[in-house]
Structure 1
Amino acid sequence: MRTLGILGGLGPMATAYFLQLLTQMSDARTDQEHMEILLYSKPSIPDRTDYITGKSEISPVEDMVMAGKKLREMGADILAIPCITAHFFHQELERRIGFPIIHAIEETAFYLEEEKVSRAGILATDGTIQSGLFQKALKQRGICPMIPDAESQKGIMEIIYQEIKAGKEVNMPLFYQIAENLFDQGAEVILLACTELSLIKRDHSLPAGCLDVMEVLARKAVQSCNRVREEYARLIVRG
């Protein structure tokens, strides 16, 4: 059984939920059958979206490399980063840290292809949207990516930063409206493509057709180190 390293704290509550998902998804009957996990939670890492969008000149890369190397030294065999925006730096991080990092975006695109999805809406940070990482990965699998309009994207950023990260109540009517707009435009699946948005799925009912990217990441992490429970074979919310 391989040891999973988690570069966490981006943000802290999403990391805590990621650990919960790993435990829930593992096909383990005793404590001893669960996977070995090493966690380095480093919330002081500079904001990824601010750097990608040019609002900050402080790169988060050096801190992430340091944390990743520490996890490797402690015995991790593979790394997961429960922050989708951080995947912008995936190639550099994997090269400099020196061991495999699960790519949540590519895994999601692969899963959607398996599910024969042709159009997917993306709810994510400005950094993830502007990077084009999801758009590129989806197009490579023959899937049409759809992003919110400017006003809806502003609403998603408010939900992520002013509400979820701040520990406040989520404006669920706004979230439902933004998701419904993408469904109305032809999206077959709506991606919760920010690990903060994963907390909405944890705490609220979501419309059929939503897919939590952090669940995709968690399932791949468990598959890489252990066995996945059968009930997690399908991840898209069903009606």
Structure 2
Amino acid sequence: MPKRLGVIGGLGPLATAYFYELICRMTDAGKDQEHLDMVIIGKSSIPDRTEYILGKSSDSPMPQIKESAKTLEIMGVDYIAIPCITAHYFYREISESIKVPIVHIIKETVRYLKERGIKNAGIMATEGTIKSNLFQKELHENGINPVIPSKNGQEYISDIIYKNVKAGMPVDMVQFKKASDELLNKGADVIILGCTELSLVKRTADIGPGFIDALEVLAMCCINKCERPVRKEFSNLIT
């Protein structure tokens, strides 16, 4: 019986759509029937994760995320993916509310870097992800030094996420390069695109070498867990 993947989507909508595209592109399939069976819940009304984490909003996204997870469990999925990194701030509470395993995008990305001997990893992510140490904690536990942006660098990244991608506007690649160059100059061997909106930057622009897209790692892991092969051209996810 084929494994079915459930997706808690809408966080944001374009990132969810791109995640589905990645799953299709990365699966070594020759016909429709060789692709993954997926159930996607697109609930864009879920409150902003970073606003809640930073205390700028009292509207918790947790109840709606848990509701989506339970709906997917009832629908009989074998694994759940959340193509929103900041939402993993709530990972423990969500996973404890259901029996279906949730593929952890942060743990899988860090594992991928550790297996390839990376010692210093830069992080481009939302302010909520950075302030809650989601990547830093996992990197430290795996012997990798996290490199985080300065205040100005984080402002550039936040603008790209919220004022460009989420707003449906063109990406300011000058700001992107300033933020990424800062991390490289601070010693990063690889830069993690640690927000799924930043994955959309990589989709449309040549960002150069030395990046790893966490959304691609999540797609690869989900394909593997659902017992489908990954195309050979995606054997190395570091640009």
* Deviation digits for residues 150-196 of structure 1 (CA, Å, limit 9, x no counterpart): 01101111110011100001100110111011111110001100000
Aligned twin of 1:113: 114
User: Cα RMSD (Å) of the superposition?
Assistant: 0.7
% identical aligned pairs: 49
Quote the offset at 1:118 in angstroms.
0.2
Amino acid at match of 1:209: G
1:227 corresponds, among 211, 215, 229, to 229
Amino acid at match of 2:201: I
Quote the offset at 1:98 in angstroms.
2.5
Q: TM-score w.r.t. structure 1 length?
A: 0.98
Aligned twin of 2:212: 211
Partner SS state of residue 192, structure 2: strand
Amino acid at match of 1:83: C
Aligned twin of 1:193: 194
Q: Which runs of 5+ in 1 are unaligned?
A: none
Aligned twin of 1:40: 41
Aligned twin of 2:168: 167
Partner SS state of residue 191, structure 1: strand
Aligned twin of 1:202: 203
Amino acid at match of 2:153: S
Quote the offset at 1:75 in angstroms.
1.6
Aligned twin of 1:157: 158
Partner SS state of residue 197, structure 2: coil
How many residue pairs align between the two structures? 237
Structure 1 runs (4+) deviating above 4 angstroms are none
Q: TM-score w.r.t. structure 2 length?
A: 0.98
Aligned twin of 2:5: 4
Aligned twin of 1:183: 184
Amino acid at match of 2:177: Y
Q: Does 1:96 align with 2:84?
A: no
Aligned twin of 2:72: 71
Partner SS state of residue 112, structure 2: helix
